[in-house]
Structure 1
Amino acid sequence: MTQETIARLRISLNDIEPAIWRVVEMPVTGSLKMLHDVIQAAMGWQDYHLWHFEAGDRRYGMPDPKWPDHNIAAARNVKLGALIDREVRQLTYTYDMGDYWRHTVVVEEVGLGEHETKYPRFVAGEQRCPPEDVGGHPGFELFLAAMSDPAHEEHRQLRQWHGGTFDVHDIDELTAKRAVAAIAIRRHAGKVAYEKSRVRH
């Protein structure tokens, strides 16, 4: 396995304190669709909803043939490295158009990855991601207040809805690492299969 060019990315969920953030290492040859998958895995989202990236005046997502949108390009056709080559160092990633979770993705550095390492890779993070469908920022504030106070009038209902306790400091790092590693393993397997097919032909 040869060394790859890797971008270290910091992903921060906007307008929340204390900050909810993750750092990942992403191959620059990976597409924005792969970056979407990595963000979902690293943050702890469940990929239930629509999403898109914004870079300057351009948007990238998953165009729907039933609802054509000429202002959005297919994320799977755009490489992270192509944006970096255009001097793009920051993207906005929006997930769930109802709850409207906006993330800032910053390219912290670009360089050669480690030998014999499969990328993408989870590096670090702090603070747990909000639950899906919690109701955006106002809903998350209410959720945190109720979950932290057994005397809160909605504590029991929200705990039952969530399925248990919620520790804002527990990001479940092992699960995040495994989820991102699974993407890396699939990517590596695809590259190996592609190389074998080229040899056969």
Structure 2
Amino acid sequence: MSKNKNHLVYQFKISLSEIEPCIWRRIQVPAKYSFWDLHVAIQDAMGWLDYHLHAFRIRPKHKRKFIEIGIPADDWDGDEIIPGWKVPIVDHFTEPGQIAEYEYDFGDGWFHEVLFEAILLKTKGTKYPICLAGERACPPEDCGSVDGYYRVIDILQNPDHDEFEEYVEWLKGHAKNYYPYDPDEFLCDKIRFDNPKQRWKIAFSQNGT
């Protein structure tokens, strides 16, 4: 297999924890990606809106302590978070079968299992990143974590519920690609991947960084 990263793609399966039936995606991204780039691809494939902070947690080989890669925060009291745009994914994903944790939104606390499945040669004519498969719609943003998600589902299944109309209207701004919201629906051809460099510029210009 070619050692030139420009000819390689990494395949991942992203699975959202604590929800059944499972919400998952299978994606392929360029091997030259950074963790920031992978974050953007996960957001777009899952259907999140990238409103909140995130972190990857990985335990390096032969190490007992996990490292965190994401967006450093000045007021963060925990361990150091390494800027994701400074770390290539090839530095930590070296063998298929490795698993990392990806947390999005430290308030609601959405935890994902990131399974590194394969290193592959690019397919001629294919634009990467790409979503190959998946099941079920992503939870709406800011719905209140797992318990809040199940509450949304219960309300949407009961048109006579006092809050039904309110939630239908609220979902217009909180569910990417899935309006009207159907928790069981997922279509690969609806996925649109942003340019991670452009996303970085937008995110940090808004934050005044």
TM-score of the aligned structures, taking structure 1 as reference length: 0.81
The partner residue of 2:88 within 59, 65, 79 is 79
Contact map agreement 1:7 1:26 (CA 8 A) in 2: yes
Percent of aligned pairs sharing the same letter: 32
Does the alignment pair 1:31 with 2:40?
A: no
How is 1:138-149 mapped onto 2 (pairs within 5 angstroms)? Answer: 138-149=147-158
Cα separation, 1, equivalents of 2:105 and 2:54: 6
Cα separation, 1, equivalents of 2:79 and 2:89: 21
One-letter amino acid of the counterpart of residue 183, structure 1: N
How is 1:121-140 mapped onto 2 (pairs within 5 angstroms)? Answer: 121-140=130-149
The partner residue of 2:47 within 44, 47, 63 is 44
Q: 1:99 to 1:70 in 2, by over 3 A?
A: closer
Cα separation, 1, equivalents of 2:133 and 2:22: 13
The offset of 1:87, in angstroms, is: 7.4
Cα separation, 1, equivalents of 2:31 and 2:6: 12
Contact map agreement 2:14 2:25 (CA 8 A) in 1: yes
Query: Which runs of 5 or more residues in structure 1 are unaligned?
Result: 187-201
One-letter amino acid of the counterpart of residue 99, structure 1: D
Contact map agreement 1:120 1:184 (CA 8 A) in 2: no
**C-alpha deviations, 1:4-37, integer Å up to 9, x for none?**
2111100010010111000100122100000000
The partner residue of 1:58 within 58, 61, 67 is 67
**C-alpha deviations, 1:150-190, integer Å up to 9, x for none?**
122322221222136421122243331xx22x43898xxxx
Query: Which runs of 5 or more residues in structure 2 are unaligned?
Result: 60-65, 173-178, 199-209
Aligned to 1:95: 104
CA root-mean-square deviation: 2.4
- The alignment covers a number of residue pairs equal to 182
The offset of 1:69, in angstroms, is: 6.1
Cα separation, 2, equivalents of 1:94 and 1:17: 18
The offset of 1:76, in angstroms, is: 0.7
One-letter amino acid of the counterpart of residue 195, structure 2: I
Larger Rg: 1
Cα separation, 1, equivalents of 2:137 and 2:90: 29
Runs of 4+ in 1 over 4 A off after TM superposition: 65-70
Cα separation, 1, equivalents of 2:20 and 2:142: 19
Q: 1:121 to 1:96 in 2, by over 3 A?
A: same
Contact map agreement 2:96 2:118 (CA 8 A) in 1: no
